Amino acid sequence: MCFFGFGQALLSLGKPNSQQQLATSHYWWFFYAIQAPFCLMALYLHVFVYSEEPIDFCIKAERREEAMALIAKVYRRESSEVHRLIYEEKSRQFGTGGDL
């Protein structure tokens, strides 16, 4: 977001100075159009890439199946016993008492 704000600040350097130039130029269009790719990219990331909740959130919300699936995905080299121990430790840490 910092780079986005910096980009808009750089765009403002080319802004017309007089009222007449502002009325006849379409420079305002760049300020609106430059945001569209960033908004579309954020929407795409939220829907397709980061569509899962974090493990900690799932444990706090007591969504065991989802939490265990995510733990298995993150710690795929570990055994299912280690996955269960990770879940139980995080459950104790958050006070949800999630014994399987």
- As a whole number of angstroms, the distance between CA 75 and CA 82 comes to 9
Number of H helices, E strands in the chain: 7, 0
Q: What is the pLDDT of residue 97?
A: 61
**Contact residues for 80 (Cβ-Cβ < 8 A; gap 6+):** 72
Instruction: Say how far apart CA 15 and CA 97 lie, in whole Å.
Output: 59
**Per-block mean pLDDT, blocks of 10 residues, the chain (100 long):** 69 75 75 82 91 90 93 93 94 74
Interatomic CA distance for residues 92 and 28, integer angstroms: 55
Contact 70, 36 (CB under 8 A): no
Q: What is the pLDDT of residue 56?
A: 92
Q: What CA–CA distance (Å, rounded) separates 68 from 83?
A: 7
Which pLDDT belongs to residue 95? 84
